Amino acid sequence: MISQCSARSLSVASESLNRCGEAGFTLVELLVVLVLIGIMSALVFVSVAGGLLKSEEKQFVNSFIQDVSRARAAALAGGRAAVLVIDGARRRYSIGRKKWKDIPETLQVEGEDIAELSEDEYGIIFYPDGSSSGGEIDIKWDNGPVDRISVDKLLGLIHTEHL
């Protein structure tokens, strides 16, 4: 007696789709697919994480530049000196030591001709007449670029450039 499967195979020998015993995937095929999915997921994660980190760095630089401008505006509008303070030891900065913001570990902040306010604290002082203590602040990224913020002593004008 011929089994039903063998009879069907004999009647449709030209069609390879109806072979008995070969339906589905083997365990090895499933494992290969899972490994490929894992590798692709890891690559996507690394790419997305790198983009988020750069986004955080860009947000910090933009926020820092805005805060320098805010300190100048506060001095002009308030009629008294305003100070942008950078605490090098704690890697943070603030306007007038009120609300501190952290400096990301991936960025290096360096200054030239910046006033030394106290030990490990540096800053730019903006005066109500529009002048300032002046100086340059360089924000260096890990991968090489530098954002430079220059503050004019006489007029207190702020100039930024990406090097």
User: Residue 12 domain-assigned?
Assistant: no
How far is it, in rounded angstroms, from Cα 84 to Cα 96?
Answer: 6
Q: What is the pTM of this model?
A: 0.66
How far is it, in rounded angstroms, from Cα 21 to Cα 1?
Answer: 19
How far is it, in rounded angstroms, from Cα 91 to Cα 71?
Answer: 19
User: Residue 9 domain-assigned?
Assistant: no
Q: Whole domain around residue 135: which residue ranges?
A: 27-162
Condensed to tens digits (0 to 9), the pLDDT of residues 56-115 reads 888 888 999 999 999 999 999 999 999 999 999 999 999 988 899 999 988 899 999 999
Distances (CA, A) of 102 to 39, 63, 105: 35, 11, 9
Condensed to tens digits (0 to 9), the pLDDT of residues 102-157 reads 999 888 999 999 999 998 899 999 999 989 999 999 999 887 789 999 999 999 89
Q: What is the CATH number of the domain that holds 48?
A: 3.55.40.10
User: Residue 19 domain-assigned?
Assistant: no
User: Residue 14 domain-assigned?
Assistant: no
